[in-house]
């Protein structure tokens, strides 16, 4: 996995003034052993940095759900698409946005619940815990975007 931390710089490399500074980090996922765990750690570390360095309130629930969503989306990307995948995590308003790109143009579809089915529940799990989900075709492959609330409705802070 190769990581690029955009921190608070905009696309032009300039750090904008004021409260609307984008906070994001990107990683190229090579599919090698341990890549999925590395992607989870990358996302959790990003959330810890925006909490500690930028003062963004991030609940433990947000960290846990983000890691779960990253795990499921990256697993699917590496399982069903040839070649590497890319992942972005960024703060947008009161949410963390997880974006995973892969080279397969086929859009995923959640299957109907089936307690007897073994496996293939990842998208069902993601859909049950996110605030928003979007899958769209790109000129090459597809881009999956999932959004998780940064705040726990019960109010428990991140550790």
Q: Residue 95 phi/psi, 5° resolution?
A: -135, 155
- How confident is the model over 36-74, as pLDDT tens digits? 999 999 999 999 999 999 899 999 999 999 999 999 999
Q: Model pTM?
A: 0.82
- Sign of the dihedral through C-alpha 39, 40, 41, 47: positive
Percentage with pLDDT > 70 across the chain: 78
Reading phi first (left if > 0) and then psi (alpha if -120 to 50, else beta), residue 36 is in alpha
Q: Which range among 22-26, 42-46, 52-56, 117-121 shows the weakest confidence by mean pLDDT?
A: 117-121
């Amino acid at each position: 996995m190769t990581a690029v931390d955009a921190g608070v710089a905009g696309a032009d490399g300039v750090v904008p003034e004021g409260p609307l500074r984008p906070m994001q980090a990107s990683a190229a996922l090579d599919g090698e052993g341990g890549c999925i765990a590395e992607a989870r750690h990358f996302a959790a570390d990003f959330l810890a940095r925006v909490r500690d360095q930028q003062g963004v309130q991030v609940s433990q629930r947000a960290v846990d759900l983000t890691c779960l969503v990253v795990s499921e989306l990256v697993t699917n990307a590496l399982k069903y698409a040839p070649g590497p995948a890319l992942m972005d995590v960024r703060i947008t308003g009161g949410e963390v946005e997880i974006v995973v790109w892969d080279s397969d143009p086929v859009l995923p579809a959640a299957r109907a619940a089936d307690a007897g089915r073994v496996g293939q529940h990842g998208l069902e799990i993601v859909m049950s815990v996110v605030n928003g989900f979007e899958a769209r075709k790109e000129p090459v492959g597809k881009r999956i975007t999932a959004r998780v609330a940064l705040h726990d409705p019960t109010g428990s802070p991140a550790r």
